[in-house]
Chain A
Amino acid sequence: MGASTGTGDLSRRDFLGAAAVLGTASALVLMLPLRVRAAPGGATELNAWLRIAPDETITILVDRSEMGQGVYTALPMLIAEELEVRLAAIQIVAAPVGDAYFNPGNDGQITGTSNSVQDAWVKLRTAGAQARTMLISAAATSWGVDPDECVAKDGVISNRAGDRLTYGAVAARAARLPVPQRVALKPSKDFVLVGRDLPRTDTPAKVDGSAEFGIDVRLPGMLYGAFAQSPVLGGWPDSVDALAAAKLPGVRLVLPLDSGVLVVADHYWQALAARKALNVDWNSGPNAALDNATITALLRHAAADDPGLAARTDGDADAALRGAVRTHSARYELPLLAHATMEPMNCTADVHADGCDLYVGTQVQQLAQAAAAPAAGLPPDRVRVHTTFLGGGFGRRLEVDFIPAAVAGSKALGRPVQVIWTREDDMTHDTYRPPALEDISAGFDAAGRLSAWKLHIVSPSITARMLPPVVGVDPSVVEAALNFPYDVPNVSIRYTRQEIGIDVGYMRSVSHAINCFVIESFIDELAAFAGKNPYDFRIGMLGKHPRHRRVLEAAARLAGWGKPAPGRHLGLALMQGYSSLIAEVAEISIEGGSPKIHRIVCAVDCGQMVNPRIVESQIESGIVFGLTAALWGKVTIARGVVQQTNFDAYRVLRVNEMPDIQVRLLPSDAAPGGIGELSVALVAPAVCNAVFAATGRRLRSLPIDATRL
């Protein structure tokens, strides 16, 4: 939390030392960055998310990062619903680091695991209702009437006598009232905003170039940095000859750091030129011989040598396999993937006498602060984090590896420094989606029922690196596998951790994508093995799961399951994840030995929706992301060096390759589930199951394009 009341540089950025925050256990003093101009002086904080000014400007602080998933719209809608104001009347700013913004589901101020709305659903409506109650009380007191005789609408409170007071007029008095501990929230039938397709608040700024991403931050006197890193992952500079680089035009600084060499110049192009002129003696470190074959061998050995730790045990799968009438086994292997956000990693730091201001597109405000502090030589609470728009997150911006160099550069020069990674830097120094090997076996009993399911997952642990210490099973590795919904009496899911020498990271849908590819492909294998239709086979094992059944039925109906058009083939897949349910059907044909994807149909039950249009966008977005991974996604490593450097070798889906996508959002009264990552995981199994329907070939590794059909 930025507790300092130092003004930093008022001429540069407007800051407001806010009043005490109500509604939390301890009073917090927050430094609020006003990204949106015209926030007047004298604004009152009603709680950690809401500020109202005398001129009626209502500002909502959003404590999750906007990376396209719509939190700058959905979260304000929750507050506005209970505050009785229109969404269009609100200004949105990014929240600073603060205790109030802790996300219990992620154990930090973290935007991830698709849980922003789940976390905010009650919390922000309550905050809105508390503020409304306090505003009404303040107005009622000034009129000398009972608050129950007053109503609030569109930011105005009125009473039976026809008197009116605006929120701006009573906000300062309201903030001094006690926060009501019990407020009644509207039943969903009374919602006027929640559940409606309201326009996104960030769209206007994203169509005229004014939306400020991290790479767009401009500060007076700011310099630009390029960062040279070891070509071999995990290497470091042994020595640097900077003589030639330092003589180039505009160069201000060459700074060797632990993980690389920073070059700062007046302009970014000059910094890049100077970086090329550096003569660095790189120590390749332990990964000098690393390649894909080494990684595959590591995982295969681990699969053979280690039975793994139990993650879920129902009955006795080993005994059931021994007693089975028929068994079937397979091995699946998945590659490393790169996040490839459209905006490459970057960070702007301004280290000055009053602390450090950090301008960064991050999903982890506290970790960003903690990463900057040692580089600035300051305690963390002297680092103020200003979260910009993120040009894609996908989990890459859960990492903070791109932050310290900017801080070190700014500290050395006493001026703001923006460090930008090139696309090549970004592609070759990602924290890649981990590779995985999964061995899977199943058995049928004498009655022909599936009696045993045994899954052994072998993969590195992201969580153990990022949030140590992880003891036992890393929950993020076994997610989705643990939700195995099919009616099988004996289930064993085990995990063996095998590191591969390089850092791996969370990537959109994380292990859902890995595990659902295996589970939903193998269920299809078993259907074929049992001579059953893949749809009927699944439905027959979902007796205890009506929500699963419903999405599967809806997707199959929409896709015309069982009667594909001539030359077309269908494959389906089902998942429970992020407290939501989803089923997808891929419709493909085979052309020239490759699958052509014509249509992806999808049915979703994500509980109550705040903004269905954003949900639909996210589902589509995830399908495109999943399709890219399924068709072409693969990072290869030779002698420790990543071979894909840009969008030519790391192919991503383009508009001309876009299939028809049909999304059916099912009505539901359940609590909201996540939607940002939900649809990614099922694309690969749905497409591969369609490939099997078309060709009889079972694909047990990805990407598909590496295989000629």
Chain B
Amino acid sequence: MIRINVNGRAIEVDAAPDTPLLWVLRDHLGLPGTKYGCGRALCGACTVHLDGAAVRSCSLPIADLADRRVTTIEGLSVDRTHPVQRAWIELDVPQCGYCQSGQIMSAAALLRSNPHPSDSDIDAAMSGNICRCGTYSRIRRAIHRAAEMLGAGA
């Protein structure tokens, strides 16, 4: 049994110690919003927050995460009101949508550490997140828009 905190809830997980956090979230905890894309930290689809920082959950064995705090897309807000989600809705960012949980989690972590990112800050923080549908220019605009919302105290 490994104890972790997911979206504010303390949870005991009964999984093999080498099970990646991704599959614990998806298969054991019923949180399929976090996606599998590559399994090797190459695509960013599985991005979640670990103690507030963006990490690739496909490459983190659960055994290393005892007592750590995990936030998934399901826990980012209860009602899609996180500024990043609001900006994503305003600009209709997603296409197929499969990469978007990861994109949003990466963007939210970026804005937490850097409330006014430049385009090159966005490049640096977001280049680990592939979007095969090519929504990148709207992702960039939506991050700037979310920064505006945050600046306006929204």
- A positions within 8 Å CB-CB of B: 66-70, 199-200, 202-213, 215-216, 218, 224, 249, 267-270, 273, 340-344, 389-394, 420, 422-423, 613-614, 617-618, 620-625, 646-648, 652-656, 658, 661
Contact = CB atoms under 8 A, between A and B. Distances in A.
A422 B97 CA distance: 19
Interface string B95-134: 1111111001000000000000000001110111111111
Contacts of A620: 134-135, 137
A398 B28 CA distance: 31
Contact of A269 (B16, B38, B95, B122): B16
A35 to B, nearest CB: 14
Given A342-B130, A617-B92, A658-B137, A207 B36 contact: no
Given A213-B98, A391-B35, A269 B19 contact: yes
Contacts of A68: 94-97, 133
Given A208-B33, A209-B101, A624 B92 contact: no
26 contacts: A66-B96, A69-B95, A205-B97, A207-B80, A208-B33, A208-B80, A209-B73, A210-B33, A212-B32, A215-B35, A216-B32, A267-B19, A269-B16, A269-B18, A269-B20, A340-B132, A342-B37, A344-B36, A617-B135, A620-B137, A647-B38, A647-B43, A648-B40, A655-B140, A656-B126, A658-B137
Interface in B52-78: 72-74, 76-77
B73 A200 contact: no
A343 B85 contact: no
Contacts of B43: 342, 423, 647
Contact of B98 (A218, A342, A420): A342
Interface centre among A209, A621, A625, A655 (most CB of B within 10 A): A655
Given A267-B15, A270-B16, A655 B38 contact: no
A343 B94 contact: no
B36 A420 contact: yes
B101 to A, nearest CB: 5
Interface in B15-31: 15-16, 18-20, 23, 26-28, 30-31
Interface of B: 15-16, 18-20, 23, 26-28, 30-40, 42-43, 45, 72-74, 76-77, 80, 85, 88-89, 92-101, 104, 122-124, 126-140
Interface centre among B45, B92, B94, B130 (most CB of A within 10 A): B92
Interface centre among B15, B72, B93, B95 (most CB of A within 10 A): B95
B91 to A, nearest CB: 9
A454 B149 CA distance: 58
A269 B23 CA distance: 7
Given A207-B88, A423-B37, A341 B132 contact: yes
Contacts of A66: 96
B117 to A, nearest CB: 12
A267 B62 CA distance: 14
B80 to A, nearest CB: 5
A613 B26 CA distance: 33
A577 B8 CA distance: 52
Nearest to B100: A206
Nearest to A424: B39
B94 A202 contact: yes
A416 B94 CA distance: 30
Nearest to A657: B127
A205 B94 CA distance: 10
Contacts of A205: 97
Given A207-B88, A209-B34, A269 B15 contact: yes
Nearest to A217: B32
Contact of B36 (A69, A215, A392, A617): A215
B84 to A, nearest CB: 8
A416 B79 CA distance: 31
Contacts of A341: 96, 98, 132
B136 A206 contact: no
Given A68-B133, A268-B23, A655 B89 contact: no
A200 B92 contact: yes
A193 B13 CA distance: 49
Contact of A646 (B40, B96, B131, B137): B40
A209 B33 contact: yes
A443 B128 CA distance: 49
A355 to B, nearest CB: 25
A340 B20 CA distance: 22
A611 to B, nearest CB: 10
B130 A343 contact: no
A72 to B, nearest CB: 11
A391 B96 contact: yes
B134 A342 contact: no
Contact of B123 (A207, A210, A623, A655): A655
A452 to B, nearest CB: 38
Given A206-B100, A213-B98, A342-B96, A656 B123 contact: yes
B42 A648 contact: yes
B97 A391 contact: yes
Given A208-B33, A392-B98, A268 B85 contact: no
Given A208-B80, A617-B135, 18 more contacts: A69-B95, A199-B92, A202-B97, A206-B97, A207-B85, A207-B100, A208-B85, A211-B97, A268-B27, A342-B37, A344-B36, A423-B37, A621-B135, A625-B134, A653-B134, A655-B139, A656-B124, A658-B140
Given A203-B88, A207-B94, A646-B40, A267 B28 contact: yes
A665 to B, nearest CB: 16
A68 B131 CA distance: 11
A658 B35 contact: no
Contacts of B89: 199, 203-204, 207
B138 A617 contact: yes
A68 B77 CA distance: 24
Contacts of A206: 94, 97, 100
